[in-house]
Structures are given as structure tokens and as C-alpha cells.
Structure 1
Amino acid sequence: MRGKDILTLLGILAVGGAGAVTFEALSLPAGFLAGPMVAVVLAKSLSLPLLADQSFEFPKQLVSINYILIGAVMGSAVSPDFWQGAALWPLSMLALVAVVGGITSAVYFYAYKRCRWSRDEAFFAGLPGALGITAALAQERGAPMDRIMVVQLVRLFLLIAVLPFIITNVVDVGDTVVPAAGYAMPVMGAVELVAALLICAVFGYAAQKLKAPAGMLTGAFFASAALNSTGLLEFALPLWLATPCYILMGTNVGLYIGKMERSTLKPMLGTSLVVFAISLSVALIGALMTSWALDVSFEKVFLAFAPGGMEAMLLISILLDIDPVFVATHQLARFMGLLAFMPVVTKYILGPVSLQKPTGAKRQTDLQ
């Protein structure tokens, strides 16, 4: 990186850190994730010179290492008795399919009938999460990207900022936690931690090579979960290492969302808020029905069904101490299901790919 880029990186991380400190001081839920995101988006909205460079991105190596560490933290919260509830997962997976279909359909009819959007725009705006595949399919069909991306990014922002408040106020999940060890650890514990992180890194790299969604994070997560749940190698990251990982992820999400232009956002904000309300309402109803039918806790079903941002939802589950394996499995299943079936479903519902050239696609590519 150039000297200017390093200064920009440090400055953005300082903004994110300030947001985390503020949220934690106010005892707001998931403060290490939501605080940096909100702070960076706010700084961007104020047109601070620090965020003037729209092309700036965090170094890929830094993001990859951070994903491995976060995956390891998430997996370290898995206890050996988590398998007891796994028998109900096939039924909750079916409920998840219904929720995804309900969200997509409800948003589609609102945007198509009420807002008079094109069928392509309405359909892709309704897909819950999987932003990469959504953008790719929309661009392939030549759909205008501005509306789709704004709706999807606003939904992601609001989920991270609002979902912890909803969960902590609807149910009693206890105090927000950081699942990590203290600041100091014995030498033997340090050796075990290094060994565990190396294993997580290998599995994260393998998952990335296999093109698994968020491969570095999910590979490290399931490796860590396997080590801890079987008792082969139980470990936890110290606070001094885990906390900066949360802050970095929240800051990176805020930087990503902050690339939205205000001229594009303003006329779309009202519609985006309605779409978010529709998506969250369908997920809420589905979670309530599933929780009642399967006799499982509402908060973990709601978080597992939340429509978007797989990595963020997993981290929120850890920060709020809500069954990370259940949430991870369902969020990953939703993502992979969209990845596998959406191309076929899109062609079936919307017809053959349009010959129309994409409009605004090039400018929006930077947002992916």
C-alpha cells in the first residue's frame, strides 16, 4: 500500500473505533459491530475528506485474516452439547425456504404493483441477501442497478443497526457478550490457540478455493466449531485480539455501504424503508410460527431467518450469545440455496435474458 492509503486506512479505522467506543459506552447491543458501521456511514454522509476516495478498499489480505479470526471466535462459542437440537434443523430449513419465498414475493408485488418498477428490478430488490449473486444476475439481464443496489444496501445497514435492538427488546438474551478469553493466557493456552488458528486458516483457505460463500469465515467457523464441539481442541481468543476483529468488520461494512451516492439514495429512501419493513415482517412472522411449531427459542430462529448479510448475522449471534451454529447453518443454507437455484428461478420467472444493455451497471460495480 502507498503511504497515503495507509494513512487513509488508519484514519477510517480510527473512525470505526470511535463508533465502537461510543456504542459500548452507551451499552447499545452489538456495539463492536454496529458502532463502527454507523460511525463510518455518518462520517461519509458528512463528506469528511477522509472518505472522499470512493475507490479505497481494505487490503484483501487484511480482510481475509480478519474473517479467519472472526470465524474462529464464532466457532469457539460452540459447546459439545449443541448436537442435541440438530434433529429439528430439517424442519426449520423448510420454514426458511418458505420465508425466503415469502420475502421475495412480497417485495416483488410491492415494487412491481405499487411502485411501478420493472419486473426485473422488483424481483432482484426482493431477494433477501446474497448481494453478490443478486448483482451478477441483475447485470446479466441488463436490469437498472441503482434501485436494486440502494434497496439491498439500505436493508443491510438497517439489519445491522436495528436487529440487535429488536432482539434484545423482544426477548431476554442477557447482556451482550464477547466470547473470548481474558487479556492474558498461559503459555500452553497460547500454543493451543496458535495450533487452532492454523487449522482454521487451512480450512478457511480450502473453503475459499472451493468458492464457498464467505469462504474464509465459514471455513474457519466450522473448523473451530468442530474442534470445540468435539472437545479435541477447546480454545478462545483473548479480548485484545477478538475486539479489533469485530471493529474491523463493522468498519468495513460501513465503508462498503458508505459508497452510496446521496443523489441516488434520497429519492429511494422511502421505498427502501418500506422494503425493509416488509422483509423484516415476513421474517418475523416466519420466526414466530417456526418457534411455536418446533418449540425452539424465538431469538435464534429470527436471527437465522433475518434477510441478509450472512457474515453480519453470524457475528450478531455471537455478540448476543445466540446459538451461533443454528444461525450459521441456516444463513449458509439460505445463501447457498440462492446461489444454486436463483439463476434457474430467475430464468423461469422473468424469462430469457434481455438483450438490453445494462444501465448504470459499470458505476455500481464498485459497490459489490
Structure 2
Amino acid sequence: MTAHLPAGLGRLPAALQWAIVACLSLATTTPLYMTGFPAALMIGPMLAGIAVALSGGTIRVPKLCFFAVQVVLALMIAATVSQDFVGTFLRDWPLILLVIFSVIAVSTFSGWTIARSGVLPGTTAIWGSSAGAASSMLMMAEAYGADVRLVAFMQYLRVLFVASLATLVAHFSGHQGTVAAHAWFEPVPLLPLAALLAIGILAGLAGQKLRIPAGAFLFPFAIASVLNTSGTVTIVLPQWLLVIAFALLGWNIGLGFTRAILMHARRALLPTVLSILALLCFSGLLAALLVFVLGVDPLTAYLATSPGSLDSVAVIAASSNVDIAFVMTLQTARLILVTFIGPWLARLVANRA
């Protein structure tokens, strides 16, 4: 029996594949960055990762690196928090819950429709359509017996759509997100930085140990936010560290679109795309509701209702002039609710489908 041999870029050594994805990232990121696209430092590497993965590339971002990325992004967002998340939630909780449950309901209905059509098994369709953090949905899907490859395809395809559309909306609505390149290497006090990273890493490890969904992001984010708003610590991260984190996040998303997964999911491609577009349109209507009722900025409302991955939405929010506290309140609350009711919904809808 002949062993399956890698094709395309997969035949090259891993070091050479990384060199190729790095060069492609430079080529895709530079024009986006120069024209002021928010989150260009994530979108460019994501596009490069997709190109390499579809060309047969076999490299993946190591789990340890992705853990570090989540910790850095959590600290970055915590540095921007200027008001109490609980206060934000309590002030407008009826409308916030309405928006969150509406997104969950529509995403669940999309999963039920795909399962009902017979294109995918019930639990796979539900977890693939769930509007939570992609990494958390993958872990939970595996625990409940879904096809993880198909769930990954559906989740990351939605992340790709949401991140790309949100970046375009941010750019063309005048939200420029570029930091001057010379600012990347401005000095930052090393001892406070080391202490801050140590706190973030320990909190991330604790979040994983406690099996908190997206714990490597949410736990450091919660602790650092409290420390920052109380004045206990001042969070200052070097720009070069954020650039690395954005690139690794983009690669982590892009490199997941392998040819094997696309071939495995080809029957589900059209229904998945249609369900994503329907969910994006519905999220746009919910964003319009938030703008009309609460008077928030349109991009803030859109990012708050976007059914994308928590970390990618956080990067786009941090790269734009929006109310990050409001965005993260809705995104975090939805993730918590999906985590608690997701298994029950998956079983219920799979049985009905």
C-alpha cells in the first residue's frame, strides 16, 4: 500500500514553508497597512496563511504560540477598558440580552436548516454554526462527538467573512487603524512588562486549568481589566509584541483552510456560506437597532453583534475608534451563554433535525 505523500508546498521543509508564508504576509500586509485598513496586521497574514494552506502547506501555529497570542491580546484589550463591564451590562441588560439571544437563535436555526437538509450531521451543523469563540466551539464539538474538521471549516470560514467585512466597514467608515512603523520599537520599561506578562501567563494557565471557555483569553482579560481600572497596574505593551501577536493570529486562522478540509467540506460549502451571509445580515439589523435605541457608534454596534471569533473581533475593535468596553461586554456575554446552553441546544436541535 502506497503511503500518502504531501503535495505542493507540503513537500518543502517546515522552515522553508514558514519563510514563504512570512514573505507572502509582507506582500499582503504592506498595501493594507499603508492604506490604513484596521487590523491590517492580522488580515494580511491571514490571507497569506490561506494561500499557503491551499497550496499544500503543512505548517501550523504551535499551541504554545497561540496561547501566548491570546494572553497578549487579552492584556491589550484590558489596557483600553475604562469603565466597568458589569455596569455596562446592567445599564442596558434587557436590550443586550435580546441582541445576544437573537444572534444565538439565528445561528442555531442556520445549523438546524443545514442538518435538516442532510448535508451535515446534526451536532456537527449546530456546533459549526454556533456564534461563539471558534477555538472554544471546536473543543466542545469534539467533546460531544461532532466532526471536528467540518466544525473547524464552518467556524473559521465565518471568522474569515466577519473579520474581512468588519475591516472593510471600519476602513470605509473612516476608522483608520494604522500605527506609525517607527512607533513599533519605542522603548517600554522591561521590569513592569515582565511582571505584566507573568500575570497574564499565570492567569491564562489558570483559565485553562479551570476549563473556562476561551480561558486563555478571558481569564487574563478579566484580571488585567480589574488591575488596570483600579490603578494597581498600568498596562503598556510594546508595539512590536502586538505586531507579532496579530500576525500569529492571522496565520492561525488562515493555515486552517487546508485542501483536505475543503475537500471534506465541499458539500457543505454553499449552505455554510449562505448561512453565514444570512447571519451577517441579521447582525447588521441588530446593530442598527443598537444605534437607534442606544445611540452607539455604528461600527461599535456592528462589532458588538458580529458573530465572529472573540479574539479577531477584539483586534479589529482595538484597531478602530470604537467603544471597546461595549463591544467586549456583548461578545463576552454571548460566549458565556453559548458555552452554558450550547450542549443542550446541540442535543435538542440534532434530535429535532
The aligned amino acid for 1:184 is E
Deviations 1:192-238 (A, max 9, x none): 22222222222222212111222222222223322322222223212
> Residues 145-199 of structure 1: CA distance to partner in whole angstroms, max 9, x if unpaired?
7765543332121112222112443x44x3114599752336xx33322222222
Call closer, same or farther: CA 1:153–1:246 in 2, change over 3 Å.
closer
- What amino acid is the match of 2:163? I
Distance in 1 between the 2:257 and 2:311 partners?
A: 15
Secondary structure of 2:185 counterpart: coil
Distance in 1 between residues matched to 2:245 and 2:151, nearest whole Å: 30
Cα distance, 1:94 vs. partner?
0.8
User: Which residue of 2 is the match for residue 60 of structure 1?
Assistant: 63
Give the corresponding residue for 1:128: 131
Query: What is the rounded CA distance, in whole Å, between the counterparts of 1:244 and 1:336 in structure 2?
Result: 28
**Secondary structure of 1:23's partner?**
helix
Gaps of 5+ in 1: 355-368
User: 5 Å matches for 1:61-210?
Assistant: 61-79=64-82, 85-108=88-111, 110-111=113-114, 115=117, 117=119, 120=122, 123-131=126-134, 134=137, 149-169=152-172, 171-172=173-174, 174-177=175-178, 183-185=185-187, 189-210=189-210
d(CA) in 1 for partners of 2:145 and 2:64? Answer: 32
Change over 3 Å in CA distance of 1:78–1:182 after alignment to 2: farther
The reply to whether residue 41 of structure 1 matches residue 53 of structure 2 is: no
* Matched AA of 1:37: M
TM-score (norm 1): 0.78
CA distance 1:41–1:234, change in 2 (3 Å): same
Per-residue CA shift, 1:98-129, capped at 9, x if unaligned?
Answer: 3224422542465367x554671654453223
CA distance, structure 2, for counterparts of residue 137 and residue 61 of structure 1 = 20
SS in structure 2 opposite 1:257? coil
Q: Is the 8 A contact 2:112 2:350 kept in 1?
A: no
How far, CA to CA, are the matches of 1:287 and 1:116 in structure 2?
32
Q: How many residues align?
A: 340
Which one-letter code corresponds to 2:72 in the other structure?
Answer: L
| TM superposition shift of 1:327 | 2.2
1:24 maps onto 2:33 in alignment? yes
Structure 1: distance between partners of 2:180 and 2:95? 26
What is the Cα-based RMSD across aligned positions, in Å?
Answer: 3.4
Instruction: Specify the alignment match of 1:314 in structure 2.
Output: 314
How many Å separate the matches in 1 of 2:242 and 2:134?
27
Whole-angstrom CA distance in 2 between matches of 1:165 and 1:241: 25
- The aligned residue for residue 362 of structure 1 is none
Unaligned residue ranges in structure 2 (runs of 5+): 1-11
Q: Tell me, in whole angstroms, the C-alpha distance in 2 between the residues paired with 1:102 and 1:252.
A: 28
Residue 176 of structure 1 aligns with an amino acid whose one-letter code is G
How far did 1:26 drift?
A: 4.0
User: C-alpha displacement at 1:135, in angstroms?
Assistant: 5.1
Q: Which moved more, 1:228-237 or 1:120-129?
A: 120-129
Match of 1:288 in 2: 288
Contact (CA 8 Å) 2:201, 2:220: kept in 1 or not?
yes
Choose 82-91 or 93-102, whichever is displaced more: 82-91
Determine the C-alpha separation between the residues in 2 that align with 1:81 and 1:285: 27
Q: How many Å apart are 1:32 and its aligned residue?
A: 0.6
1:37-67 Cα shifts (integer Å, max 9, x gaps): 011112333x25xx1x2xx432222222222
SS at match of 1:325: helix
Q: Which amino acid aligns with 1:44?
A: A
CA-CA distance at 1:260 after TM superposition: 5.1
Q: 2:4 maps to what in 1?
A: none
Judged with a 3 Å threshold, the aligned counterparts in structure 2 of structure 1 residues 308 and 63 are, in CA distance, closer, same or farther, namely: same
Whether the 8 Å contact between 1:40 and 1:258 is mirrored in structure 2 is no
CA distance, structure 2, for counterparts of residue 176 and residue 271 of structure 1: 33
